[in-house]
Structure 1
Amino acid sequence: MSRLSKRSTLAAALAGAFMFAGSAAFAADPLVSSQDVEKNINDAAAASQAKIDKLSDQTRDLIGEYRSTVAENDNLKIYNDHIAKLIESQQAEMGRYNKQINNITKTQQGVVPLMYKMIDTLEKFVALDIPFEKEERTQRVQKLKDMMEDSAVSTSEKYRRILEAYQIEVEYGSKSSAYQGVLPVDGKQLSVDFVHVGRVAFLAMSLDQKNAWFWNKETKAWEKVGDEYITSIREAVKLARGQAAPNLMKLPIEAPESAE
């Protein structure tokens, strides 16, 4: 075979080989593309499923929060209704208290002037009464007057103390008491035993028990009594001090005035 013919044959063979190789490569490309597409689809599906799962979890969380919010809202509504009823009850109670305070204020406006009048009356009574235990009784009235200006003492307590002072004055009329004091006699201050028998008689006896006097309510002065009364007045002093048993006594007592 000629050299030219050999070259032609070799060229033909190489061309055939190249064509076969190109055909094989062309035939393999569709398979590779199909696998890539399937992989992409699977990846997309997985990503979508992940998003769906995430949205599902978020939805469950939102539903839980919603239910919790609804339950809390119901509880708050019940609590608010309860508070509203309490406030309504308290407002009604405050209204009653305000009414009571107004009534108390009105009562005080009437009671306070009355208390001042009672103290003035008591002061005049002590001044005009038989002067037994005069200093103690006068001081008691003065304390009542000072008390009225003391804001630390309630109105009810002031009224109670005034009534107590009146009660003490009432009891003086049904009991006897004896105490030592000074009696002005002939320009001298004589130590004596004073004794009052209720408001019937107010007497004085010298400490040596030799002289005695009685308070004359008409003249509002002390008058000396005769010796016939000394023993009885001595017994009256002992009786008032609890040193003798009750007994009949002859005392200088003024006859009651006849009613006209």
Structure 2
Amino acid sequence: MMSRFRKYSAGFLLLILIPQTLVAQQQGAEQVKQLESDGIERTEQGRDTQQQVDAMHGRSRNLVDEYYTHLKLVEGLQLYNTMLGKQLTSQREEIELLRSSISEVAVVSRQILPLMARMVDGLEQFIELDVPFLLTERRHRVAKLRGLMLRADVTVAEKVRRVMEAYQVENDYGRTIEAYKAKLQLQDASFDADFLRIGRVGLLYRTIGSDEVGYWDSKQNTWEPLANSPWLRHIEQGLRVARQEVAPEMISIALDPTQEIVR
């Protein structure tokens, strides 16, 4: 009896335990699925979070790069401003120097202009006392200088240059020979003549048509005639040399009628 009861009891317990085991397994499976679902969800959340972190890192990196770029730009601008500051300082100094120079130029100009006027006067006197060659041209040059001195639209530097240029032209006359045509005034008569200038030491003429020859006597300040022979031949040769019609050669010219001609 007891043995049968025990068998029934064990069977009953087995019937009770089997459903509980199935329930436990089912619950375990559901828990596993829930864990898997939770794991997947956390994984997806982690992936989303990582993507957000990566995006934030990328933006942070871009901000850092942009910051360094602007920092370099600022450094460049600071260096540029420093250089500009030095340039401005230099320009201010230059401006002050120019202002000082301008004031000095005004003083110098007030001194130079009277000097230039005296130089023009001296040049005019020199021409009138000099050997009388190219008088029309030389007097015209002096007249132009006088007009130039009165012009307000011409700088002082240009006036100085023109006066010095005129002096240089007069200086060059002493180192050259020249042949030119002009009017010869002898007493009350005027003749067309060829003139031969040899520096400032000799000025001779040959009248056109009559072939009369003569020279300027610097001691007497007058024109003196010469005998046609042999002076005409020598003066004609000198005229050809001065006009570059023949090759340069030694010529005999009467600089002083008391001297003999060297043939």
Match of 1:252 among 251, 254, 258: 254
Match of 1:235 among 234, 237, 249: 237
Flag structure 2 segments of 5+ consecutive residues without an equivalent. Answer: 1-73, 259-263
Aligned residue for 1:98, secondary structure, equals helix
Shift of 1:213: 1.1
Residues 245 and 90 (structure 1), Cα distance of their counterparts in 2 relative to 1, 3 Å cut: closer
C-alpha separation between the residues in 1 aligned to 2:199 and 2:243? 14
C-alpha separation between the residues in 2 aligned to 1:172 and 1:223? 22
C-alpha separation between the residues in 1 aligned to 2:90 and 2:251? 71
Partner of 1:203: 204
**Between the two proteins, what is the percent identity of the paired residues?**
30
So what's the TM-score if we normalise by structure 1?
0.62
1:1-41: CA deviation from partner (whole Å, max 9, x where unpaired): xxxxxxxxxxxxxxxxxxxxxxxxxxxxxxxxxxxxxxxxx
Aligned residue for 2:152, secondary structure, equals coil
Partner of 1:123: 124
Displaced runs of 4+ in structure 1, greater than 3 A? 81-93
Deviates more, 1:100-109 or 1:233-242: 100-109
1:54-102: CA deviation from partner (whole Å, max 9, x where unpaired): xxxxxxxxxxxxxxxxxxxxx9xx9xx9899887665444322211111
Partner of 1:183: 184
C-alpha separation between the residues in 2 aligned to 1:255 and 1:111? 45
Shift of 1:121: 0.9
So what's the TM-score if we normalise by structure 2?
0.61
Flag structure 1 segments of 5+ consecutive residues without an equivalent. Answer: 1-74
Aligned residue for 2:128, secondary structure, equals helix
Partner of 1:193: 194
Partner of 1:72: none
Residues 163 and 100 (structure 1), Cα distance of their counterparts in 2 relative to 1, 3 Å cut: same
Name the Cα RMSD after superposition.
Answer: 2.5
C-alpha separation between the residues in 1 aligned to 2:249 and 2:169? 25
C-alpha separation between the residues in 1 aligned to 2:216 and 2:156? 38
Letter in 2 for 1:191: D
Shift of 1:161: 0.6
Aligned residue for 1:167, secondary structure, equals helix
C-alpha separation between the residues in 2 aligned to 1:234 and 1:84? 75
Letter in 2 for 1:114: L
Residues 224 and 85 (structure 1), Cα distance of their counterparts in 2 relative to 1, 3 Å cut: closer
Partner of 2:4: none
Aligned residue for 1:143, secondary structure, equals helix
Partner of 1:141: 142
Partner of 2:111: 110
Shift of 1:188: 2.3
Letter in 2 for 1:152: D
1:95-153: CA deviation from partner (whole Å, max 9, x where unpaired): 22211111212221222221111111111100100010011001001111110001111
Aligned residue for 1:213, secondary structure, equals strand
Partner of 2:224: 223
Aligned residue for 1:130, secondary structure, equals coil
Aligned residue for 1:102, secondary structure, equals helix
